[in-house]
Chain A
Amino acid sequence: EAQVTQNPRYLITVTGKKLTVTCSQNMNHEYMSWYRQDPGLGLRQIYYSMNVEVTDKGDVPEGYKVSRKEKRNFPLILESPSPNQTSLYFCASSFGTESPLHFGNGTRLTVT
């Protein structure tokens, strides 16, 4: 089944404790990206990748890191999480700008 797999689904952590949210797609998509969803703001882009070893900042990259060592995986890393990073996070992938995004099921992150 074609899908984007994102883990974990829920995560509660404390300020400053490094964490990683994993994302993997099995559709051989070139494009992968991360979004955060906050009430009233819709989804905002954090980082995106156009291919292996090619990543770039989105609209809200501060406090986040990504890597794209393999085509299928695109983890999101929070080196020192803060409470303002409490949000719902989505990973997404696609073939290109004309193609719809395929989304993971989301990760609800709470930083206390």
Chain B
Amino acid sequence: AQTVTQSQPEMSVQEAETVTLSCTYDTSENNYYLFWYKQPPSRQMILVIRQEAYKQQNATENRFSVNFQKAAKSFSLKISDSQLGDTAMYFCALPHNAGNMLTFGGGTRLMVKP
């Protein structure tokens, strides 16, 4: 069975600083995708970034980047120049091959402080 673990239930960061959210996973698949989703207080689920496991290059989307270590099964999210609007729950997720369901981690609540 697949598992996704986020070991930091809560984190805080000062505005404009950098923060890294960790995620580890276990899967028997060789080719797969990994996702980070953001859930602000509005409770919408918003895709932050996607990583393809067969690509060695780490994905980047503006201030968001990942550190993907396939052998270690680690997929951390780095947020640079943190903004107040980054305050949210962040979920790491790994797809099942069947039915395109996702296995989610327990989430990390990030607070950006002014």
Residues of A within 8 A of B (CB): 31, 33, 35, 40-45, 48-50, 56, 58, 88, 90, 92, 94, 96-101, 103, 105-106
Contact = CB atoms under 8 A, between A and B. Distances in A.
Given A105-B43, A106-B43, A42 B97 contact: no
A42 B105 contact: yes
11 contacts: A35-B102, A40-B107, A42-B104, A43-B93, A48-B98, A48-B99, A56-B98, A94-B100, A100-B50, A105-B44, A106-B45
A97 B97 contact: yes
B33 A98 contact: yes
A100 B35 contact: yes
In the A-B complex, the 5 residue pairs with the closest CB atoms: A42-B104, A48-B99, A103-B45, A31-B100, A43-B104
Contacts of B35: 100
Given A45-B102, A56-B99, A88 B43 contact: yes
Contacts of A44: 104
A62 B97 CA distance: 22
B79 to A, nearest CB: 19
A22 B98 CA distance: 23
Given A94-B100, A97-B33, A101-B45, 5 more contacts: A35-B102, A43-B91, A101-B102, A103-B44, A106-B45
